[in-house]
A = this chain, B = another copy of it.
Amino acid sequence: MMERNVRRKPSQSRSKATVEVIVEGAARVFVERGFDSATTNHIAKAAGVSVGSLYQYFPNKEALAAELIDRHLAELLRLLTEKLAEVATLPVVAALPAMVRAMFDAHSHEPQLHRVLMEAGSRVGMDRRKREVLRQFHALARLYLESHRDELKVRNLDLGAYLLVFAIENIMREIQAAPPPWPLDDVVAHVAAMCVAYLDSDVVG
Protein backbone atom coordinates (compact mmCIF):
# COMPACT_ATOMS: atom_id res chain seq x y z
CA MET A 1 0.00 0.00 0.00
CA MET A 2 2.68 2.49 1.02
CA GLU A 3 4.58 1.30 -2.09
CA ARG A 4 7.25 3.88 -2.33
CA ASN A 5 7.18 7.31 -0.92
CA VAL A 6 8.34 9.10 -4.04
CA ARG A 7 7.79 7.58 -7.44
CA ARG A 8 10.70 8.79 -9.43
CA LYS A 9 13.71 10.59 -8.21
CA PRO A 10 13.34 14.06 -9.59
CA SER A 11 16.74 14.65 -11.03
CA GLN A 12 15.83 17.46 -13.36
CA SER A 13 15.51 20.81 -11.68
CA ARG A 14 12.11 21.39 -13.24
CA SER A 15 10.92 18.20 -11.66
CA LYS A 16 12.36 19.22 -8.36
CA ALA A 17 10.49 22.47 -8.53
CA THR A 18 7.29 20.62 -9.38
CA VAL A 19 7.72 18.29 -6.43
CA GLU A 20 8.22 21.32 -4.28
CA VAL A 21 5.04 23.10 -5.34
CA ILE A 22 3.10 19.89 -4.90
CA VAL A 23 4.38 19.34 -1.38
CA GLU A 24 3.66 22.93 -0.48
CA GLY A 25 0.23 22.71 -2.00
CA ALA A 26 -0.43 19.58 0.00
CA ALA A 27 0.63 21.31 3.21
CA ARG A 28 -1.73 24.17 2.50
CA VAL A 29 -4.66 21.94 1.63
CA PHE A 30 -4.11 19.64 4.61
CA VAL A 31 -4.21 22.63 6.93
CA GLU A 32 -7.27 24.13 5.25
CA ARG A 33 -9.40 21.03 4.93
CA GLY A 34 -7.91 18.35 7.12
CA PHE A 35 -6.42 15.14 5.88
CA ASP A 36 -9.62 13.28 5.09
CA SER A 37 -11.33 16.02 3.18
CA ALA A 38 -8.25 16.86 1.19
CA THR A 39 -8.34 15.17 -2.21
CA THR A 40 -5.54 14.76 -4.68
CA ASN A 41 -7.50 17.02 -7.00
CA HIS A 42 -7.64 19.78 -4.39
CA ILE A 43 -3.94 19.47 -3.85
CA ALA A 44 -3.09 19.52 -7.55
CA LYS A 45 -5.21 22.61 -8.02
CA ALA A 46 -3.68 24.33 -4.98
CA ALA A 47 -0.24 23.49 -6.31
CA GLY A 48 -1.12 24.76 -9.74
CA VAL A 49 -0.35 21.48 -11.47
CA SER A 50 -2.53 18.77 -12.94
CA VAL A 51 -3.49 15.64 -11.06
CA GLY A 52 -1.49 13.72 -13.57
CA SER A 53 1.66 15.54 -12.56
CA LEU A 54 0.94 14.89 -8.92
CA TYR A 55 0.70 11.18 -9.61
CA GLN A 56 3.92 11.35 -11.54
CA TYR A 57 5.72 12.03 -8.31
CA PHE A 58 3.51 10.68 -5.53
CA PRO A 59 1.59 7.43 -5.67
CA ASN A 60 -1.18 8.74 -3.44
CA LYS A 61 -2.29 11.17 -0.80
CA GLU A 62 -0.64 9.20 1.97
CA ALA A 63 2.73 9.54 0.30
CA LEU A 64 2.33 13.30 0.34
CA ALA A 65 1.56 13.30 4.01
CA ALA A 66 4.48 10.94 4.60
CA GLU A 67 6.77 13.31 2.78
CA LEU A 68 5.60 16.21 4.93
CA ILE A 69 6.06 14.13 8.05
CA ASP A 70 9.53 13.08 7.03
CA ARG A 71 10.50 16.67 6.47
CA HIS A 72 9.08 17.70 9.79
CA LEU A 73 10.68 14.91 11.73
CA ALA A 74 14.03 15.39 10.01
CA GLU A 75 13.92 19.02 11.02
CA LEU A 76 12.95 18.06 14.54
CA LEU A 77 15.81 15.61 14.79
CA ARG A 78 18.25 18.13 13.35
CA LEU A 79 17.19 20.83 15.79
CA LEU A 80 17.39 18.61 18.81
CA THR A 81 20.66 17.01 17.80
CA GLU A 82 22.15 20.42 17.29
CA LYS A 83 20.87 21.64 20.63
CA LEU A 84 22.12 18.57 22.38
CA ALA A 85 25.56 19.13 20.89
CA GLU A 86 25.48 22.68 22.22
CA VAL A 87 24.67 21.63 25.76
CA ALA A 88 26.54 18.32 25.76
CA THR A 89 29.19 19.47 28.17
CA LEU A 90 26.86 21.28 30.52
CA PRO A 91 25.79 19.55 33.71
CA VAL A 92 22.42 17.86 33.61
CA VAL A 93 20.69 20.52 35.69
CA ALA A 94 21.60 23.10 33.09
CA ALA A 95 21.27 20.97 29.98
CA LEU A 96 17.82 19.50 30.60
CA PRO A 97 15.92 22.77 30.85
CA ALA A 98 17.59 23.85 27.62
CA MET A 99 16.57 20.63 25.90
CA VAL A 100 13.01 20.85 27.17
CA ARG A 101 12.81 24.38 25.89
CA ALA A 102 14.28 23.31 22.55
CA MET A 103 11.73 20.53 22.30
CA PHE A 104 9.00 23.03 22.98
CA ASP A 105 10.31 25.43 20.35
CA ALA A 106 10.63 22.63 17.85
CA HIS A 107 6.97 21.77 18.35
CA SER A 108 5.98 25.37 17.76
CA HIS A 109 6.83 25.16 14.08
CA GLU A 110 3.76 24.86 11.84
CA PRO A 111 1.68 23.35 14.61
CA GLN A 112 -1.51 23.24 12.55
CA LEU A 113 0.00 21.20 9.77
CA HIS A 114 1.54 18.78 12.16
CA ARG A 115 -1.58 18.44 14.16
CA VAL A 116 -3.39 17.42 11.01
CA LEU A 117 -0.68 14.94 10.18
CA MET A 118 -0.74 13.50 13.69
CA GLU A 119 -4.47 13.03 13.34
CA ALA A 120 -3.96 11.28 10.04
CA GLY A 121 -1.94 8.98 12.21
CA SER A 122 -1.00 5.53 11.19
CA ARG A 123 -2.74 5.76 7.83
CA VAL A 124 0.18 7.84 6.86
CA GLY A 125 2.93 5.95 8.60
CA MET A 126 3.12 8.69 11.16
CA ASP A 127 3.47 6.24 14.00
CA ARG A 128 6.27 4.22 12.54
CA ARG A 129 8.18 7.25 11.39
CA LYS A 130 7.75 9.10 14.63
CA ARG A 131 8.79 6.12 16.66
CA GLU A 132 11.86 5.80 14.48
CA VAL A 133 12.84 9.39 15.17
CA LEU A 134 12.16 9.02 18.87
CA ARG A 135 14.30 5.91 18.83
CA GLN A 136 17.12 7.93 17.37
CA PHE A 137 16.60 10.63 19.89
CA HIS A 138 16.44 8.07 22.63
CA ALA A 139 19.89 6.87 21.55
CA LEU A 140 21.26 10.38 21.62
CA ALA A 141 19.74 11.06 25.00
CA ARG A 142 21.24 7.86 26.37
CA LEU A 143 24.67 8.82 25.12
CA TYR A 144 24.34 12.16 26.81
CA LEU A 145 23.17 10.67 30.06
CA GLU A 146 25.92 8.09 30.06
CA SER A 147 28.54 10.72 29.63
CA HIS A 148 27.08 12.39 32.73
CA ARG A 149 26.53 9.17 34.62
CA ASP A 150 28.34 10.37 37.71
CA GLU A 151 25.94 13.27 38.14
CA LEU A 152 22.98 10.89 38.31
CA LYS A 153 21.58 8.41 40.77
CA VAL A 154 19.39 6.53 38.28
CA ARG A 155 21.27 3.49 37.01
CA ASN A 156 19.21 2.19 34.09
CA LEU A 157 20.06 5.04 31.76
CA ASP A 158 18.53 3.31 28.78
CA LEU A 159 15.15 3.24 30.42
CA GLY A 160 15.80 6.66 31.87
CA ALA A 161 16.45 8.19 28.46
CA TYR A 162 13.35 6.46 27.12
CA LEU A 163 11.12 7.96 29.78
CA LEU A 164 12.58 11.41 29.37
CA VAL A 165 12.16 11.42 25.63
CA PHE A 166 8.60 10.16 25.67
CA ALA A 167 7.45 12.23 28.60
CA ILE A 168 8.85 15.41 27.18
CA GLU A 169 7.70 14.81 23.64
CA ASN A 170 4.14 13.97 24.66
CA ILE A 171 3.76 16.86 27.02
CA MET A 172 5.06 19.28 24.42
CA ARG A 173 2.61 17.95 21.91
CA GLU A 174 -0.20 18.19 24.41
CA ILE A 175 0.68 21.77 25.15
CA GLN A 176 0.52 22.60 21.47
CA ALA A 177 -2.81 20.89 21.06
CA ALA A 178 -4.48 22.43 24.09
CA PRO A 179 -2.48 25.17 25.76
CA PRO A 180 -2.80 24.94 29.53
CA PRO A 181 -3.55 27.97 31.70
CA TRP A 182 -0.07 28.45 33.10
CA PRO A 183 2.81 30.52 31.74
CA LEU A 184 4.72 28.33 29.36
CA ASP A 185 7.93 29.17 31.14
CA ASP A 186 6.50 27.65 34.27
CA VAL A 187 5.45 24.53 32.45
CA VAL A 188 8.86 24.19 30.86
CA ALA A 189 10.48 24.70 34.25
CA HIS A 190 8.32 22.04 35.85
CA VAL A 191 8.95 19.54 33.10
CA ALA A 192 12.66 20.14 33.42
CA ALA A 193 12.39 19.80 37.18
CA MET A 194 10.57 16.55 36.78
CA CYS A 195 13.34 15.23 34.58
CA VAL A 196 16.16 16.41 36.78
CA ALA A 197 14.50 15.11 39.92
CA TYR A 198 13.87 11.78 38.31
CA LEU A 199 17.48 11.35 37.26
CA ASP A 200 18.51 12.16 40.77
CA SER A 201 16.22 9.59 42.36
CA ASP A 202 17.46 6.25 43.54
CA VAL A 203 14.91 4.03 41.90
CA VAL A 204 15.88 0.39 41.65
CA GLY A 205 15.52 -1.67 38.49
Contact = CB atoms under 8 A, between A and B. Distances in A.
Contacts of A163: 171, 187, 190-191, 194
A85 interface: no
Taking the full assembly, how many copies of this chain does it contain? 4
Contacts of A198: 190, 193-194, 197-198
A147 interface: no
B189 A203 contact: yes
A186 interface: yes
B167 A171 contact: yes
Contact of A131 (B127, B154, B170, B178): B178
Contacts of A193: 154, 198, 201, 203
A121 to B, nearest CB: 5
Given A127-B177, A166-B171, A197-B200, 5 more contacts: A36-B123, A119-B121, A159-B186, A170-B171, A198-B198
25 contacts: A119-B123, A119-B127, A121-B121, A154-B193, A158-B182, A159-B182, A159-B186, A159-B190, A160-B190, A163-B171, A163-B190, A163-B194, A166-B171, A166-B174, A167-B170, A186-B205, A189-B203, A189-B204, A190-B198, A190-B205, A193-B203, A194-B194, A194-B197, A196-B201, A197-B197
